[in-house]
Structure 1
Amino acid sequence: MAPTHDVVNQVPPLVDYDALAVDAALAGGLVRLGGEGVLGSLGALGRRVGDQQVQRWATEANGYPPVLRTHDRYGNRIDEVDYHPSWHRLMALSIGEGLHAAPWASGEPHAHLRRAAGFFLTSQAEAGHGCPISMTYAVLPALRHNPALTRQFEPGLTSTRYDPGLRDPAGKAGLVAGMAMTEKQGGSDVRANTTRAEPAGDGAWRLTGHKWFCSAPMSDLFLVLAQVPGAGLSCFCVPRVLPGGGRNAFALQRLKDKLGNRSNASSEVEFDGTLGWPVGEPGQGVKTILEMVTMTRLDCVIGSAAGQRAALVQAVHHARHRRVFGALLIDQPVMRAVLADLQLEVEAATALMLRLAAAVDTGERAFLRLAVAASKFWVCKRSGVVVGEALECLGGNGYVEESGLPRLFRESPLNSIWEGSGNVIALDVLRAVGRDGEAIAAVDAELASAAGSDPRFDAGVARCRELVRRPDVQQARELARLLAVLLQAAQLIRFAPAPVADLFCATRLGAPAPVLGALPAGALPRLDAVLARALP
């Protein structure tokens, strides 16, 4: 066909950019909390995440979802999942960078901070493969409740070699771990689990029952909750392949057809005499997995911040190249306000997730017990709003699959649901406030470090302390939100440029606007300083 028009005013693809170098909040936070060495160690990954090849891997891994194969051609039960090769490439990238369990075996003082920043970068490229990376990271602290299992599996779990396929763990160059907790009759209420465990001899137990959600079922081993007669809910380590190479009973019934996270397989699994080994004391299953839950919730915060950042980058890039009504979008006052407000949200989430990760390195367990839960509640809940607004910045082009924004939008609710949806997390915050004086003191000290710099912040802290003094279930969600926003504000007041901190406090603690981009009068002169940090 003859050409009927020239293609003009279309935005060039955002490829081959350095995702770390263009992120002022991330780079600055890494230097402040870990030094130039930590920042430099992630330079290659920052460039890798933004290159065209990794972007293609992400598209392919999501465009060709995993396929379940319950039987081979001869009728033998195999219970395997086939992934697109690009999934394996993404897994190899993240494991090669030590973004799974490697920090637990590292002697570096900022290993968890570096790992969080790396996970933040790779999650911007593709979020689905982050699930097994995150679970492997979180499983190891719980596994250490059983020294024998730790000796057996920790070298593989901390290895930076990705070695897919179901084989005897003893012969693999690297291992990946998962978890299977929830059942049909109760998700968050794991105490309602019906899967039971019976002694099998030689320290092993046989599990019978089901799990309603078991993500990344091709992992090498899983932490599983089951009821022990006379003791109660207990934690077990269940390998897919037993020592010697025989398959454990691990029947994959079907894969979930999910809203997002489509590159990652999530399955329903049946246990029928499945062998497992205890992790922690009988009846102490919930206590055993608490530290694991804290780490997975931290990764929910990191992953949500990453999705928000990825959407913002696309929105700013689009606005810098698209002309509307005779001017670039980036120069239109209303668009500038929206982009600046998105940057405030993303910068606050980035600063907070780095602070939480640094607290893992410094062993601030009391601080993490309360701060991670509140942060998980709010940062994850903001993702749908932030990603949706960023998508709208691209107009109809953002609604088209090729833009990448629909994938980010489908992903945006996940972390708010995984490891406890909003009400569950808010109630956890309320319980911590009512019982854990050490955690309250640690968070209060963090807020006090920013006191006296902004009256809106000080007023918010006073209100928060009042809510803490009189815990009320009707105020649980507001308490979780306020705690998270104050923790974000504290980071920005202390370390971000003054216009960023001032605008954040004005819009999140002063008189919060119902929509992004509704900035207070007089904000215009400060927008340049905010937008300069979004995408240099």
Structure 2
Amino acid sequence: MNFADRDPALRPLVDRLLSPADRARLEPMLTELGALAAGELDRLAATADANPPVLRQYSPSGERIDEVDYHPAYARMVELAFGRFGLAAMSHRSGVLGWPAPAPHVVKYSLSYLFVQAEFGLACPMSMTDSAARILRMFDPDRFAEEIAALTATDMSSLSTGAMFMTEKQGGTDIAQTATEATNHGTHWTLRGNKWFASNVSADVILTLARVPGQGAGTRGLGMFLVPRLLPDGNRNTYRIDRLKDKLGSRSMASGEVTLEDAYALPVGELADGFRQMAEMLNVSRLSNAMRACALMRRAVFESIEHTRGRNVFGKSLFDQPLMRVTLLPMLLDTEAALGLVLEAAVRLDEADAGDAYSRRLIRMLTPLAKYTVCKQARRVTGEAMEVRGGNGYIEDWVNPRLLRDAHLGSIWEGSSNVIALDVLRCMRREALHRTVVDEYDGRLRAIENPDVQNTVAALVKRWEAVRNEGEELLGRAPDEQQARIGSYAESMTHTVMASLLVEQAAHEAGNRRYRKLLVANTYVCLLDSAMTRPHIALDYLGELADGGHVSLDVALAALDRQEVAYA
């Protein structure tokens, strides 16, 4: 069993998005990690989930130590993620997995997508370690060169993991209410306050916000600080882990409540930039959330297809039952569309990091769009997959309960859905970024020359015109009405982006006389236009869609015919 081999969408996407050299380097890694995710890693994840971390606050002699003990299965997964595959390091330095330079984000997200299909909890420390290194490189690389090296290490003896302690009890998502106080001691600062939701609570390098005296109120008064787990003399820093959270999901990884008791800290960059720095870290983490949600969806689809093919009901395979096919098809389509969006965002993030101002504007909008929509989709797809498996899907012996629990996390951490939708509205109000998105993907569709997709392109061009008009009409409304409607608008825009990316990929594959993706794209577009359609052709060819099998051009084109998809 190999999750990469069973995925009909992943390899064709990276074929198009990566250079030939990068694609060749990635292939053996896809094969290795795909097998691990379906085998050893999956077993380790189940064991770690059933044996969550434990907090030891005191040593046998009564000294305060605040150590978190992890099951050996979790430690082995750390070795695989941070060591063998360097998932937190590959965006920052050369040499990881043989890349002569930092690896493209498409590589990192493709491999992480396979990893998370087995283990979700560890993906949070992976993401925060990666993001912490990114923030230190961007804003204070000279002062924190040692910390950056440790955060990007692949040798377990040198590795430091990162964390972001941001949430406070009284503030939640309202960062302006942060009450932690910073005091300057010349050579260093100390922080005093409480952090209510601190994930990867045993991290070695913690980035957090605190109020700087004389800097003003609200978010203007916040500075970013690095809080090390150990002091320069090797002793434990003066913060307390009060307790670990008893979480619904992500149980393999420790989240806790922390009290900072004049904890040693160092400022990161310009203290007046604290909120902007944390926003940069949040945005990258939000994109990682979308990737993780996509991975959960893919595992749920895989499990559902495997189960229904192996289950006979009333003398017929469950996979071949008409109503079950109606259930499975949208799960598959939504998952494939989400993967295209995640990898598109990865490409744009690389371009933005290279200094492309236009791509930076685009990724600023794509990130909340992906976080909002894909994380919501994951909750639905994993829930459907649980029901597909029936009673066994509700039993902890199977992976479905863990997928469902973990899926709900994506819509909460790094900003709940409403917070993310309001961020989309902020992008529209301040920079009119909805116009940037419309122009980008409408323009790319119009530039496609392959005649096989022209009817699909025409349908989507009309949809983009409607999305553009709706955005302008929304901005003309009163502020309260804008807020009330932004969620549905964000979802509509995201689905249209995903449809456009499916068509773009379909045109590429059609150039090589492969038409499976065109059937996916045409069916997705029809369902977007009307949820009441019944896509007969896609349902008939569900096996080919699930396996990456052969679909003829005539079949793929017929799926766009309204006579084929409308209910009688």
User: For residue 11 of structure 2, what is the aligned residue in structure 1?
Assistant: 27
Q: 1:64 to 1:528 in 2, by over 3 A?
A: closer
Partner AA of 1:284 in structure 2: D
**Contact 1:456–1:510, Cα closer than 8 Å, also in 2:** no
Matched, 1:479 2:489: yes
Which stretch of structure 1 is more off in the superposition, 130-139 or 274-283?
274-283
Which stretch of structure 1 is more off in the superposition, 436-445 or 141-150?
436-445
Matched, 1:308 2:282: no
1:435 to 423, 427, 430: 430
Within-5 A mapping of 1:61-140: 61-96=48-83, 97-106=85-94, 108=101, 110-140=103-133
**Contact 1:225–1:234, Cα closer than 8 Å, also in 2:** yes
In the alignment, the residues of structure 2 paired with residue 78 and residue 469 of structure 1 have an alpha-carbon distance, to the nearest angstrom, of: 56
Within-5 A mapping of 1:166-181: 173-181=158-166
**Contact 2:329–2:539, Cα closer than 8 Å, also in 1:** no
Q: TM-score, normalised by structure 2?
A: 0.85
User: For residue 167 of structure 2, what is the aligned residue in structure 1?
Assistant: 182
Partner AA of 1:369 in structure 2: R
**Contact 1:31–1:39, Cα closer than 8 Å, also in 2:** no
Matched, 1:511 2:530: yes
Q: 1:235 to 1:67 in 2, by over 3 A?
A: same
In the alignment, the residues of structure 2 paired with residue 426 and residue 162 of structure 1 have an alpha-carbon distance, to the nearest angstrom, of: 39
CA displacement 1:344-388 (0-9 Å, x = unmatched): 011011111111112222223221100111111000011111001
SS at match of 2:73: helix
Which stretch of structure 1 is more off in the superposition, 254-263 or 281-290?
281-290
Q: Which has the higher contact order (CA 8 A, sep 6+)?
A: 1
Matched, 1:238 2:227: yes
CA displacement 1:170-196 (0-9 Å, x = unmatched): xxx111100100100111111110001
* Deviation at residue 110 of structure 1 after TM alignment: 4.6
2:542 to 511, 518, 527: 527
In the alignment, the residues of structure 2 paired with residue 519 and residue 416 of structure 1 have an alpha-carbon distance, to the nearest angstrom, of: 29
1:462 to 462, 465, 481: 465
**Contact 2:189–2:265, Cα closer than 8 Å, also in 1:** yes
CA displacement 1:225-274 (0-9 Å, x = unmatched): 00001111111011001223111112000111111111111100000110
User: For residue 200 of structure 1, what is the aligned residue in structure 2?
Assistant: 185
In the alignment, the residues of structure 1 paired with residue 369 and residue 281 of structure 2 have an alpha-carbon distance, to the nearest angstrom, of: 17
* Deviation at residue 161 of structure 1 after TM alignment: 2.1
SS at match of 2:260: strand
User: For residue 143 of structure 1, what is the aligned residue in structure 2?
Assistant: 136
**Contact 2:90–2:103, Cα closer than 8 Å, also in 1:** no
Partner AA of 2:396 in structure 1: E
* Deviation at residue 318 of structure 1 after TM alignment: 0.6
Partner AA of 2:7 in structure 1: D
Q: Relative to total residues, which structure has the larger helix share, 1 or 2?
A: 2
In the alignment, the residues of structure 1 paired with residue 541 and residue 30 of structure 2 have an alpha-carbon distance, to the nearest angstrom, of: 31
CA displacement 1:431-469 (0-9 Å, x = unmatched): 101112467425531343124634442232122212332
**Contact 1:312–1:390, Cα closer than 8 Å, also in 2:** yes
In the alignment, the residues of structure 1 paired with residue 121 and residue 143 of structure 2 have an alpha-carbon distance, to the nearest angstrom, of: 28
Partner AA of 1:81 in structure 2: V
Partner AA of 1:150 in structure 2: F
SS at match of 1:340: helix
SS at match of 1:252: strand
In the alignment, the residues of structure 2 paired with residue 463 and residue 342 of structure 1 have an alpha-carbon distance, to the nearest angstrom, of: 26
Within-5 A mapping of 1:327-406: 327-363=316-352, 364-406=359-401
User: For residue 168 of structure 1, what is the aligned residue in structure 2?
Assistant: none
**Contact 1:489–1:501, Cα closer than 8 Å, also in 2:** yes
Matched, 1:495 2:489: no
In the alignment, the residues of structure 2 paired with residue 411 and residue 161 of structure 1 have an alpha-carbon distance, to the nearest angstrom, of: 29
CA displacement 1:103-161 (0-9 Å, x = unmatched): 12235475311111111111111100111001011112211212333312111111112
SS at match of 1:207: strand
* Deviation at residue 428 of structure 1 after TM alignment: 0.5
SS at match of 1:104: coil
SS at match of 1:460: helix
**Contact 1:384–1:409, Cα closer than 8 Å, also in 2:** yes
User: For residue 147 of structure 2, what is the aligned residue in structure 1?
Assistant: 153
Matched, 1:211 2:195: yes
In the alignment, the residues of structure 2 paired with residue 239 and residue 487 of structure 1 have an alpha-carbon distance, to the nearest angstrom, of: 41
In the alignment, the residues of structure 1 paired with residue 304 and residue 324 of structure 2 have an alpha-carbon distance, to the nearest angstrom, of: 10
SS at match of 2:499: helix
Q: TM-score, normalised by structure 1?
A: 0.90
Matched, 1:299 2:294: no
Partner AA of 1:288 in structure 2: Q
SS at match of 1:209: strand
* Deviation at residue 523 of structure 1 after TM alignment: 4.7
* Deviation at residue 50 of structure 1 after TM alignment: 1.1
Q: 1:512 to 1:370 in 2, by over 3 A?
A: same
* Deviation at residue 526 of structure 1 after TM alignment: 4.4
In the alignment, the residues of structure 1 paired with residue 159 and residue 537 of structure 2 have an alpha-carbon distance, to the nearest angstrom, of: 56
* Deviation at residue 302 of structure 1 after TM alignment: 0.4
Partner AA of 2:334 in structure 1: E
SS at match of 1:201: coil
Give the alignment's Cα RMSD to 1 decimal.
Answer: 1.9
Structure 2: gaps (5+ residues): 95-99, 216-220, 353-358, 447-453, 476-481, 507-516, 550-568
CA displacement 1:478-534 (0-9 Å, x = unmatched): 221112111111111111321100111111x20135xxxx73456534434423339
In the alignment, the residues of structure 2 paired with residue 526 and residue 42 of structure 1 have an alpha-carbon distance, to the nearest angstrom, of: 27
